Structure formats: structure tokens, C-alpha cells
Amino acid sequence: MKDVASMLSQHTPKPKRELTPAFTQTVLSEIQQHPNGPPKPARIKLFLYFLKTAPGIALIAIILALSGIGTYAAVIQTRDNTNGATIEISPDDPTVITLDLKNCRVPLFHRPEGPTPLGREPTYNGPTKFKIIQPDIMPATKVKATILAWCEQQSVRAFYGKTHPLWFPEDTSPSYDQHFGEIISTTPDSITIKYAWGRDYETATYPRQAALVVYKDGRAVAQDTLRAGDNAVFIIHQPKDTTAPNWKPSTPNASNSTLVSIAQTEYNVAEYSLFEATNRRVFAPLNIYNEYRALEVADTFYRKTYPAWFDSGAAPYHSMQRGDIKAITSTTITITLPVYTPQKGERNVDITYPISNSLTIYDNGKRVEISSLKAGDRALFIIALAPGAPYNPPDGPSPTNTSLISIAKL
């Protein structure tokens, strides 16, 4: 029999996506906008007032309110597809763009594992400068369209999450999946689409079904509004073969899947998807651009060189953590990491590890001596859990429940 308690202790589920960088700022903005408490729905207050003072007028109020609610609901739905992002290309340096992303959840840069030490995260309050990583293949104008496309994709995903939550309980091993592309042609009986798949486009012709739901700007619209050339997000249902142990979705087509919904979009979302599949990230915050590049190199290097460390279910589990080197002696190294415990929340913790003979140090993917490290350096640390140690030790990681395996300079 499996030891469920032990399995649970050693495996903490993590969402794939980290919190958006503007999380705290969003909370503060909301509080600052309403310093005296959460906003009360004005219509209800007004209606209650009417009900108390003039019951006869209340009936008219109900009718007016209902008509108003209809309009209001439409406005709320429309906002799902409005991100309010502004993007400016620097006139002095075409590889630098200024973004004010507001509510748009673009993954501004990739964090391999875990957050940076507190107080060291770049902030994104208001307009922030970003540097394009590969301007030769993705120039600023394309990046701009890419970001708008990405914002739109997020809005569409959020929209479907609300209108059809059962389609997307999560986003791996999809039965229902989003595909990005455009409509090639339509006939009364069929719809031909082109969508991004892996690193290329595919085309498929689906029979037109009455149940196919089409949305535009967050509202359901008639199927006959679809036109060749329209950009769109396609929701395709491809049932999983539960008898196949390593089932993966096949390239969707009419014989293995059903086109269940289409959301028309303004921008070409497929382009971003294809670009990211080939080139990873598009841009990085200007003030940490160099560190970001080093992080990309280190992350790729470790995953390529030591894939077993990051295998599903591999033991011991290795984690990558960004942090700072606080001090080095001939026998020990003290590092600063953000650590969470229920007792004290997330905070920076100094951990002193012995320097073992097996500790490896890398700089830009090349092995270097420990003497190249100094106090104050940022680094990516590879830390292994000691056998049998709980994933979340009550007092956080320590030299007894974890070991420091490798360091990459950033």
C-alpha cells in the first residue's frame, strides 16, 4: 500500500505560472481607490432607498434597474477583451520599448524556479522599459504587435475560463485546447482554419456545427459573421484516449476532434505562439537585462546538462532558486534566499552550507573556480532535498535538510 501521507508531505503542487509582477500593486491600487472600504453597489442602495420611502415607485425602479443591469453586464463582458496596455518604441534605441501593461498578464520575463529575494524584484508600476532580446529576428514593431496579441490571448483565455470553466480546469494534457490562427475560408457546411501547432502552421477543415459558438469582444455573435482572413482563437475538443498510457494530443483535424468555439481576435495571436516555441522569450526589463540573459543561459544549461534533476518524480528533488551570495570562507558559503514558512510568511533567509568537493560553479555555461564568486553576487542555486526530508520543512531549508549542489553566476 502506498504511503499517502509521506507522498503528500514530499510533493507540493505548484501552479505553472507565478503571480504576475503587478500583484501587490494591484492590491494596493484597489485599496487606495476605496480607502473607506469596498465599493457598495450603488444601484442596490438606491433601490433599497426607494423601497423604503416610495414602494409605488419601486416597481418602475425594478424595470429601469433591470434594463440597466443588462447594459452593465454587456459592458463588463466587453472589458474582458480590453487590456488598456500602451506600448511605445524608443525613438533613440529601436531595441528598447516602454510598456505600461496595466491589466494585461504578459509574462514579462521568465523566472526559472521560485521568486527572487524580497526587495530585489524589478517593479512594473507604471511605464517600464524593456529591451528586446533578439531584435534581428523580432524587431520592435513586431514585438509591439506580439504583445498586443498576447494581451488579447490572455483576455480570451480569461473569458472562456468564466463562460466555460469546465473546458479549462487546467492547461496540461488538454481535452479542450486553445489554438491560435486565422480563418482561411467558410462555406455553409464547413470552416477551414489555419492554426499554430508546434513550430509551424497547420490547416484543417471542420464541418460547421450548429453548436459552434462564436464570440467577438466577449459577446456571442452569429456564425455568419465569420470571414476568411479573420484572426481567431479556436477551441478544439479532442477526447483523450484513456486506454493509451502515453497519450498526447494529435495534430487536430476533423477526424480526431471537434471545433466547438471560435473567438475572433484583432491581432494575430499565432505569431507570438510560434515565436515563443522557437525562441523562448521576447524581451527583458532593461534594468536587469544582463542578469536576465545570464539566467536564461544558466537555466538552459542546467536543464540540458542535468535533465534527471528536473525529471518528474525524480529523487532527490532539485530546485533552482535565485538569490544572493552573502559571504564566502574557505569552508562555507552563506547565501540569501526567499523562504516561506507559515509562521513567518515569505522572508529572506541566510543559509550557510559547507563547501563540498562536489559543488560545481558555472559562469555563462562554463565551469569556473569558486574563487570567482564574491559576496554580493547574484546567482542561481541548485539545491537538493535530503532523502526523506519534507518539501516544506517547518523552519525552512537548512544544511541538514538540503544540500547545495551547484551555483551559476548571474
Which residues sit at the interface with another protein, rule CB under 8 A?
1-2, 4-5, 7-9, 11-20, 23-24, 26-28, 30-32, 35, 37-38, 105, 115, 118-119, 157-158, 161, 165-176, 239-240, 242, 310-313, 317, 340-348, 390-392, 394
In the complex with another protein, the residue whose CB is nearer, 107 or 139, is: 107
| Alpha carbons 290 and 364: distance in angstroms, whole number | 11
| Closer residue to another protein, CB minimum distance, 172 or 329 | 172
Q: How far apart are CA 74 and CA 247, in angstroms?
A: 40
Cis omega (within 30 of 0) for bond into 316: yes
- Of 161 and 207, CB closest to another protein: 161
Secondary structure element (H or E) that encloses residue 76, with its range: helix 55-79
Rounded to a whole number of angstroms, the minimum distance from the CB of residue 1 to another protein is 7
Quickly count helices (H) and strands (E) in the chain. 7, 18
CB of 348 to another protein, least distance (A): 7
Instruction: Say how far apart CA 300 and CA 316 lie, in whole Å.
Output: 20
Contact 197, 180 (CB under 8 A): no
Q: Among residues 35 and 387, whose Cβ is nearest to another protein?
A: 35
Smallest separation (angstroms) from another protein to the CB of 125: 11
Helix (H) or strand (E) holding 300: helix 289-305
Pairwise CA distance, residues 129 & 287, whole Å: 8
Query: 120 or 129: whose CB is closer to another protein?
Result: 120
Q: Which is nearer to another protein, 26 or 278 (CB)?
A: 26
Q: How far lies 314's CA from each of 57, 112, 284, 304, 319, in Å? A: 69, 18, 31, 16, 12
Rounded to the nearest whole angstrom, what is the least distance from the CB of residue 360 to another protein in the complex? 22
Q: Which of 121, 114, 131 is nearest to 21 (CA)?
A: 121
Minimum separation from the CB atom of position 255 to another protein (A): 18
| Residue 354 CB, nearest approach to another protein (Å) | 26
CA distance 319 to 317: 7
Cβ at position 391, least distance to another protein in Å: 7
